[in-house]
Amino acid sequence: MQHKREAFWFYRYLSNFYDKLVNPLFWTESMREKALDVVDWSDGENLRVVDVGSGTGFTTQGIVRRVPAKNVVCVDQSPQQMERAMVKADLERCRFRLGDAENLPFDDDTFDRYVSAGSIEYWPDPQRGINEAYRVIKEGGQALMIGPIEPVNPISKFIASTWMLFPPENDYHLYFHNAGFTDVDWTYVRPHWQENERYGIAIVGTKPAPGTSPNAEGRRSRQALVSAEPGGGWLGRNLLLTGRVVLGSAAGFLFIPMALLAHVSAPLRGVEGDIQPLNKEQKLVLGLIGGAVTLLLLRALTRRR
Ligand SMILES: C[S@@+](CC[C@H](N)C(=O)[O-])C[C@H]1O[C@@H](n2cnc3c(N)ncnc32)[C@H](O)[C@@H]1O
């Protein structure tokens, strides 16, 4: 999934239930608020902000609590995700642009703040995306990157890396250091059902001088390699893409029942936190899991007899 075309097709259908099944489990309002608070929002009235990989606008909804919506520009490569953000009442005055995080459609030194939440894991070349964050903000501006940290549990680690990139924590620090950011600060975020304190990171840095990132100059980008069309003709390429999207999605969807079970078992495991009640879509998925397990058990029992 860590490929632009795969992510594009994945979100084409995931956008249908993203707000109902994905965010309430993996990227909750309290996580969002904690992450956004690492940034300096004083003088919010005058700040121009770009939200990259803005998706259905969940993080943007946190940004417009701090900055007038008319000052916020949302960028995403998925029209389906963007359409869902555009109809949200509080985002009505934001501006929306289809675009690529690794090649942002803005001049150097345009914004005061850059925010990207939960998108880096789909970027083929994260360093290039963070160099872009540096480029588009003004001198003294801040860039905030929110992303998952490589899981410690080997099963989650395997599923996560089948699906997309979950960088080790140190990589985030390196990306920021390499891009040229100073005054780097960070905090960790996790949903209440997650025991691991270091589930996700919100890392912020300040741009010390105008212009492009010193790292962008003369850097041989991996971009040409990762976006190069694989060989094998049209049919072969599309079969490969379909296979990867199906496999990647299957691995990704495994996270939903795993997280739902972790959510309901959190009080039994003594995990404390801000517990959100399940919505009806989550209850439906849990019901389906329960039904499937019951059927399998019944089948196993009747076979033994
Ligand atoms: C997990 S969603 C996060 C959405 C949103 N930031 C939020 O907080 O809910 C990831 C988003 O990143 C977008 N995305 C992935 N790769 C991208 C790229 N190279 N450029 C722009 N957007 C990208 C996807 O289309 C998707 O909408």
Mutate to test the pocket of ligand 1, among 4, 59, 76 (most ligand atoms within 8 A of CB): 76
Report the candidate in 257, 229, 282, 238 with the shortest Cα–Cα distance to residue 9: 238
Chain-centroid distance of CA 234 in Å reads 30
Report the candidate in 117, 200, 93 with the shortest Cα–Cα distance to residue 151: 200
Q: How many CB atoms lie within 10 A of CB 28?
A: 20
| Placement of tokens 């004083």 in the chain | 42
Chain-centroid distance of CA 52 in Å reads 10
Question: Residue 4: CB within 6 Å of ligand 1?
Answer: yes
Please answer whether residues 184 and 88 qualify as being in contact, where contact means their C-beta atoms are separated by less than 8 angstroms: no
Question: Residue 60: CB within 6 Å of ligand 1?
Answer: no
Q: If you measure from the C-alpha of residue 126 to the centroid of ligand 1, how many angstroms do you get, rounded to a whole number?
A: 13
Q: Return the DSSP state at 45.
A: G
Q: Return the DSSP state at 275.
A: P
Report the candidate in 176, 189, 197, 206 with the shortest Cα–Cα distance to residue 39: 206
Question: Would you state the structure tokens that stand for residue 208, as one six-digit string?
Answer: 């010390």
Q: If you measure from the C-alpha of residue 106 to the centroid of ligand 1, how many angstroms do you get, rounded to a whole number?
A: 18
Q: If you measure from the C-alpha of residue 217 to the centroid of ligand 1, how many angstroms do you get, rounded to a whole number?
A: 26
**pTM score, whole prediction:** 0.84
Divide the 305 residues of the chain into consecutive groups of 10 and give the mean pLDDT of each group: 72 78 85 97 96 97 98 96 97 97 97 97 93 98 96 78 80 97 97 86 98 78 44 72 73 74 79 75 80 85 73
Give, in order, the Cα–Cα distances in Å from 203 to each of 27, 76, 192, 206: 16, 20, 20, 11
Question: Residue 121: CB within 6 Å of ligand 1?
Answer: no
Question: Residue 122: CB within 6 Å of ligand 1?
Answer: yes
Q: In ligand 1, which atom is closest to the CA atom of 124?
A: 19
Torsion of CA 115, 117, 120, 121, to 10 degrees: 180
Question: Residue 194: CB within 6 Å of ligand 1?
Answer: no
Going by C-beta distance under 8 Å and a sequence separation of 6 or more, which residues neighbour residue 24?
Answer: 276, 279, 282
Domains for the chain: give ranges and CATH numbers: 4-227 (3.40.50.150)
**How much is the pLDDT for 304?**
63
Q: In ligand 1, which atom is closest to the CA atom of 51?
A: 6
**How much is the pLDDT for 163?**
65
Going by C-beta distance under 8 Å and a sequence separation of 6 or more, which residues neighbour residue 218?
Answer: none
**How much is the pLDDT for 159?**
72
